[in-house]
A and B are shown apart, each in its own frame.
Chain A
């Protein structure tokens, strides 16, 4: 089966609670994780707001799904690419994002960061390197 592994990129460009896109993307990623593909997530434009710390949705009646990103490592989804320029444009830095780690079972379960901050040019390279791109 290994020769049938494809590279899937989920592109997230929307803020988390104004529309359903962000939550739907996360649901699809979790479903897709069952299929043993090479999965990456991209966060750019308003999509970077999905990963901010301190989200509290108690008073808007919508589930806060941001903690779910921290579970992705258990589904072997360990590549979350975040675009530096998108952070800059929104007055954010890497410190404003929640910490997301995964355990590398091939490296004595060392904890490694899932979030990789890359430039816009590098994001274009990541996109061009995929077999399938799913946009949200």
Chain B
């Protein structure tokens, strides 16, 4: 079922998240990990780009990385699903391919 895209860089440091979002197809999953989780908060300059694809693309964040950085789940962008490590594995297992946006 589509591609699992992983993004591990802050969207404020590189264009990886925006490029990923621009190339993800409907039905794909975008999982923000490591510093990528900074993209999951609302009220940022990438929020609108993510929200525009939310739904068509499943947006996820790796919960442990989000929590590690002290980010507030109450300020997470609407429509983002938090997954744990086993959830990450499940996403990888059920996807046709994975693509890392380094």
Contacts and interface: CB of A to CB of B under 8 A. Distances in A.
Interface of A: 11, 13-14, 21, 44-45, 120, 123-125, 127-128, 130-133, 135-136
A132 B28 CA distance: 15
Given A13-B19, A124-B22, A132-B97, 15 more contacts: A11-B99, A13-B101, A13-B102, A44-B23, A45-B15, A124-B23, A124-B24, A124-B25, A125-B25, A127-B23, A128-B2, A128-B3, A130-B97, A135-B102, A136-B102
Contacts of A11: 99
B61 interface: no
B22 A120 contact: yes
Interface of B: 2-3, 15-16, 19, 22-25, 28, 97-102
The 4 closest A-B pairs by CB, nearest first: A133-B99, A135-B100, A124-B23, A128-B25
A133 to B, nearest CB: 4
* B interface SS class: mixed
A28 to B, nearest CB: 14
A45 B102 contact: no
A13 to B, nearest CB: 7
Contacts of B15: 45
